[in-house]
Amino acid sequence: MPMHEPGTLSRGEDGHICIKAEDENYFIPAEDIRPLLLAGKATPVLATRRVLRGGGLDVIEGYAVIGSGGRSVFIYSRAGHFLTPMVNFLRVSRGEAQSAPLFPLIPGDAGAGP
């Protein structure tokens, strides 16, 4: 039986962190990664929504925070609530890893799979 992966992190254009969770695509802008990691500030998780005149509009769809122990990054979005180990997040943000898995924060939550 194939393993269901609830989501992934990857490094996108201009240093953005791309988040694929279920059928949703989100991103954390490159300029928000440093405050998240160094100051522990909650940062918005954005999605690009298409507008009638072409192009897109970035809208906040959730947020990312560092766990209280500093060893995890929690991502809260419309697609569900996820976490990834800090070491995975750092490797992706520095370009050392192509991608990293997201794990459901609450078993049975959206993204937890069958």
pLDDT of 109 reads 59
Residue 111 lies in a domain: no
Residue 113 lies in a domain: no
Return the residue matching tokens 């298409």.
50
Residue 56 lies in a domain: yes
Residue 39 lies in a domain: yes
Q: Which domain holds residue 47?
A: 7-104
Instruction: Output the tens digit of pLDDT for each of the chain's 114 residues.
Output: 345 678 999 999 889 999 998 889 999 999 999 999 999 899 999 998 877 676 778 999 999 999 989 999 999 998 899 999 999 999 999 999 999 999 998 876 554 444
Residue 112 lies in a domain: no
Query: What DSSP assignment string belongs to 28-70?
Result: E-HHHHHIIIII---EEEEEEEE-TTSSEEEEEEEEEEE-TTS
Structural domains in the chain (count): 1
Return the residue matching tokens 């694929």.
20
Residue 1 lies in a domain: no
Q: 10: helix, coil or strand? A: strand
State pTM to two decimals: 0.84
Residue 71 lies in a domain: yes
